[in-house]
Amino acid sequence: MAMLNDRSSVLALLKSRKSASAKAMTGPGPEPEILAQILSIAVRAPDHGKLAPWRFIRFDGDARKAMGDVFAARWQALNPAHGAETVEAQRGLFLRAPVVVVVVSTAAPHVKIPEWEQVLSAGAVCQNILLACAALGVGCQWNSGWIAYDGPVTAAMGLQPHEKVAGIMYFGTSAVELEDRPRPDAAAITTIWGK
């Protein structure tokens, strides 16, 4: 993939960026140095107070399967009436992509910086990841799902009780042509104060 080298190509990328879908993802995943580059771009997110209120947990190889076993067991405990097919679907969640990175918001009360702003910064980290992936030709989807909100599951991922999943980022190669979706009309959601 050609690297961006002028303003018009940057704008073209920003105007056309779209996510891959974890449901239609395959290999290869990003090489380690490419993923390192993506995450180093991610941490350039705006961050009031330089708190860096986020961190990453990477899952690749067998760790995706081990985590899936946790998802399956927890799903079974929460939904004993569900059949084997749905349980296996949970087991396979992280196996859909070669690499998964959980972006963790470590936002906490602070004397000066509102927690809300720290949480927003974690969202900007996730968006930076999407933009970096678009520039590098890596398929990526920002995801959540029940596994992002279930206490025992997030604890098994390695989150502390006060931490939250900002995004589960699936990295790979889209098996299908990326389709765009209708985008909101920015003008239609803009009001001009005083008019």
Ligand X SMILES: Cc1cc2nc3c(=O)[nH]c(=O)nc-3n(C[C@H](O)[C@H](O)[C@H](O)COP(=O)(O)O)c2cc1C
Which chain residues interact with ligand X by CB under 6 A? 18-19, 141-145, 167, 181
Question: Which of 112, 181 has the CB closer to ligand X?
Answer: 181
Residue 153 makes CB contacts below 8 A (sequence gap 6+) with 70, 71, 74, 146, 147
Question: Which of 43, 178 has the CB closer to ligand X?
Answer: 178
d(CA 172, CA 21): 10
φ/ψ of residue 144, rounded to 5: -140, -100
Residue 175 makes CB contacts below 8 A (sequence gap 6+) with 24, 25, 26
Taking the complex as a whole, the smallest distance from the CB of residue 32 to ligand X amounts, in Å, to 24
- Where b means 16+ CB within 10 Å and e means fewer, 80-102 reads eeeeeeebeebbebbebbbbbbb
Phi-psi region of 30 (alpha: psi -120 to 50; beta: other; left: phi over 0): beta
Taking the complex as a whole, the smallest distance from the CB of residue 130 to ligand X amounts, in Å, to 6
Question: Which of 6, 185 has the CB closer to ligand X?
Answer: 185
Amino acid type, 7: R
Question: Which of 80, 182 has the CB closer to ligand X?
Answer: 182
User: Are 191 and 44 spatial neighbours (Cβ–Cβ below 8 Å)?
Assistant: no
Taking the complex as a whole, the smallest distance from the CB of residue 190 to ligand X amounts, in Å, to 19
Question: Which of 15, 181 has the CB closer to ligand X?
Answer: 181
Which of 57, 90, 59 is CA-nearest to residue 73? 90
Taking the complex as a whole, the smallest distance from the CB of residue 186 to ligand X amounts, in Å, to 14
Taking the complex as a whole, the smallest distance from the CB of residue 141 to ligand X amounts, in Å, to 5
